Amino acid sequence: MIQRSRILIYSHDTFGLGHLRRCQALAAAIVDEFEHASVMILSGSPIIGSFEYCSRVDFVRVPGVIKLRNGEYTSLNPKIDISETLSIRSSIIEHTASIYRPDIFIVDKEPYGLRGEVRPTLSALKRQGTQLVLGLRDVLDDQQILATEWTRKEAYDALTYLYDEIWVYGLKSIYDPLAGLPLPETVRQKMVFTGYLRRHLPKGDLHDEAPFEGDPYIIVTPGGGADGMELVDWVLRAYEAQERALYPALIVLGPFMSQNDQLAFMERAGNLRNVKMIRFTPQLEPLIDKAIALVGMGGYNTFCEALSFDKPTLLIPRIVPRREQAIRAERAEALGLATHLPIDRYPDVTAITDALAKLPERSPPSASQIPGLLDGWKTVHDRIAQVLEPPAIKRSLP
C-alpha cells in the first residue's frame, strides 16, 4: 500500500502575480521532492489557468476580487457584491478542504485569509490534526502599519492558537517582517526563516530565440503590471531621450496592465530600435537568465529571480498601498544585493539614464556572499518531511 500525502495551499490575492507565482513555485517544489505527495492551490487569480502545472498539482479557482490602490477590495464581477463574493469564496474553500483532507495547509500571508474567509477552514482543520503553516514573504509592510492592521484583523490570535509554524521566506539578518509586533515568545518560537526561494529554469525553454540576435540586453519587468506604468514610462523616456548609449531593453509589461496603457507603450517601443516589448509570458525565467541585468519594482518574486540568476539589479519600488517594495529595495541596496532608485525621482530622465547605463557593470548579488541566502527550498523540504514522511504521515490511501 502506497502512502500518499496532500498539501493544500491558499493564496488570498487575486490581482497580481506575486502571491500566485510564489504558491505555484512552492507546489512545484513539493511534488518534485515528495513523489507520493499532491498539491491543491486555492486562488482567485483570473490567470491561474495560464500557467503550466506539474503532475500532481492542481488548482481550484474561487471568485475573483480586485485590490484597489487604496488597499480596499471589490468584486471582479461587478454584478456581485463584495460581501456575497466573500461568502461564496469562504464556502468553496471550506468545502474543498473538508473533501481534500490535507496533511498540511499552507496559508499565504494573511493569517485569516481575505476578510477572514479561511477562519472556518483553519478551525476545522485544526480539529482534524492538519499541520497549519502561515507562509510570509520577507517584508510585509511598514511595521507600525502592520501592527495596526493585524490588531484590527485579530491576527495575533491566529498565530498564537491556530498555526503550528510560521515560515518566513527570507533571512532574519536581512529583515524580520514581525519585528516590533506584540507577539508572545511562543509565537516567536514558531518562526522559521527559510532563506529566499530559488527560481529555476523551466523544463523546455520556450524562448530559444535571442531577443536582440544574441546581443546583450537588460530585462525590465513591472511584475503583474497593474501598478507599473511609471516604471515602464520612465525607462522608455531614457531610451527616447538618448542622453547616453544604453544596452538594448526587453520590457515585459505584465498581464494586469490596462490594454490602453499596453497599446500606448507598444507604440512608443515600436519607434525605438533598441527596445522590444512583450505583453506577458508565464515563463519569465529564461529571459531573465539570458539578460545581463534586471530592472524591476522590487516585488518578492522579482527579487528572488534577481538573486537566483545572479543579475545586477535596479529596483524602482512603488510606495502605495504598501511600503513593502521600498523597504526591500532599501535593505537590498544596503547589503549590496541591488541598487535602488526611489520613485519620487520620476520622471527625471538623467537619473534613470545614469542608473541604466551603470547597471550592467555593477556587482551581482552573489558578490555579497550572504550565507544561506537561497536556502529556502531546502528548509521548506526539511519542515514538510517532518510531517509527510513515515512514521509521521497521518493517512494511508490505496
Q: What angle do CA 252, 257, 262 make, to 5 degrees?
A: 70
Determine the straight-line distance between the first and last CA of the chain, rounded to whole angstroms.
Answer: 6
Per-residue pLDDT at 395: 43
Per-residue pLDDT at 321: 82
Per-residue pLDDT at 397: 38
Give phi and psi for 30, each to the nearest 5.
-65, -50
Residue 30: half-sphere exposure toward Cβ, Cα within 13 Å: 33
Per-residue pLDDT at 39: 97
Q: What is the CA radius of gyration of the chain?
A: 21
Cα separation, 236 vs 375, in Å, equals 36
Cα separation, 295 vs 229, in Å, equals 14
Cα separation, 183 vs 211, in Å, equals 50
* 3-class secondary structure per residue, 170-188: CCCCCCCCCCCCCCCHHHH
Q: For the chain, which ranges sit under pLDDT 70?
A: 1-3, 14-16, 67-72, 204-209, 390-398
pTM above threshold 0.75? yes
Grid cell 526611489 is found at 342
What is the pairing mode between strands 73-75 and 65-67?
A: antiparallel
Per-residue pLDDT at 396: 41
Per-residue pLDDT at 111: 97
Per-residue pLDDT at 394: 42
130 SS3 class: coil
Per-residue pLDDT at 45: 86
User: pLDDT tens, 222-234?
Assistant: 999 989 999 999 9
> Domains plus CATH for the chain?
5-198+374-388 (3.40.50.2000), 218-368 (3.40.50.2000)
Per-residue pLDDT at 205: 52
User: pLDDT tens, 69-126?
Assistant: 666 677 877 778 888 999 999 999 999 999 999 999 999 999 999 999 999 999 999 9
What cell does 223 get?
A: 511584475
Per-residue pLDDT at 214: 87
Per-residue pLDDT at 393: 43
User: pLDDT tens, 101-110?
Assistant: 999 999 999 9
Within the chain, residue ranges assigned H as helices are: 18-33, 82-100, 119-128, 143-152, 155-157, 185-188, 229-241, 259-270, 285-290, 300-308, 324-334, 349-358, 376-388
